[in-house]
Amino acid sequence: MAFSSRPIVIGNWKMNGLAASLDQVEAVRDAIAKGQAGRCETGLCLPATLIAAAAARVEGSRLMIGGQDCHVASHGAHTGDIAAAMLKDAGATLVIVGHSERRADHGETDMLVNQKAQAAALAGLTPVICVGETRAERDAGETLRVIGRQIDESVPRSTDPKTTIVAYEPVWAIGTGLTPTAADVAEVHAFIHRRLDSLLPSGGTTIRILYGGSVKASNAAELLAIDHVDGALVGGASLKAADLLGITSVYR
């Protein structure tokens, strides 16, 4: 089992959720308090509009709240954007950077993702840096080359392995119900750990690498048991507390 480092399961609500959805945050919080959530850390990356309210409701709980993106600057004339310090101020401790939907919808480059990860760390947030190949890249046998480039360019050299998380999310597995084989996940995760270790002055073998892409209760046991898989980044199955808890409870 790959349960050596502290495993963590992080939900990504994407552009979903209104104030009424905060009852799901409370349900996860209560399950953790009752010891029913599994022996892992748990976080929920929410729409920015819900972060402050969610953070207030989880005060004193081990449930972490996060954002889904941040700007590279600490403040300034950037209409519609959100600074890492603002997320922190609202009660977040995590922030996703470089999700493939941001890379695709907003043209985010590895260099920009690198700067966002630095901005997050500077503000005292744990960045969750996402990488992943497209279907065409996998079919062309380019997966490791693409992931290698994304790791080299998206992960800041100044990264502190204790407070940085990497998520491997094959683009073709996100929201599709498709997942790579266990052997493919194992190959990519081991590759990322080796790559981080040679890249970072402080070493990279202790950085937690999450798998993301169609993780649900029914496949979590298999995916989370793979070597070098230190947890999951969960989209659709994180919207309902019961579904997310079906994943976290794999860590018995």
Segment lying near ligand PGA (by CB under 6 A), choices 53-61, 137-145, 198-206, 229-237:
229-237
Active site residue 106: no
CB of 174 to ligand PGA, least distance (A): 4
Beta carbons within 10 angstroms of residue 78's beta carbon: 11
The residue behind tokens 């649900």 is: 216
Distance CA 69, CA 103 (A): 11
| 233 is an interface residue for ligand PGA by CB under 6 A | yes
Pick from 126, 164, 214, 249: which binds ligand PGA (CB under 6 A)? Answer: 214
Identify the active-site residue in 101, 108, 137, 169: 169
Pick from 12, 68, 159, 249: which binds ligand PGA (CB under 6 A)? Answer: 12
CB of 9 to ligand PGA, least distance (A): 11
Residue number with CB closer to ligand PGA (53 or 217): 217
- How would you write the chain as a 3-class SS string? CCCCCCCEEEEECCCCCCHHHHHHHHHHHHHHHCCCCCCCEEEEECCHHHHHHHHHHCCCCCCEEEECCCECCCCCCCCCCCEHHHHHHHCCCEEEECCHHHHHHCCCCHHHHHHHHHHHHHCCCEEEEEECCCHHHHHCCCHHHHHHHHHHHHCCCCCCHHHCEEEECCHHHCCCCCCCCHHHHHHHHHHHHHHHHHHCCCCCCCCEEEEECCCCHHHHHHHHCCCCCCEEEECHHHCCHHHHHHHHCCCC
Identify the active-site residue in 41, 71, 99, 137: 99
Residue number with CB closer to ligand PGA (54 or 237): 237
Q: Which residue is nearest to ligand PGA (CB)?
A: 235
Pick from 131, 188, 215, 244: which binds ligand PGA (CB under 6 A)? Answer: 215
Segment lying near ligand PGA (by CB under 6 A), choices 117-125, 132-140, 152-160, 235-243:
235-243
Site string for ligand PGA, 137-176 (x = CB under 6 A): --------------------------------x----xx-
Active site residue 99: yes
Point out which residues bind ligand PGA (CB under 6 A): 12, 169, 174-175, 212-215, 233-237
Q: List, by residue number, the catalytic residues.
A: 99, 169
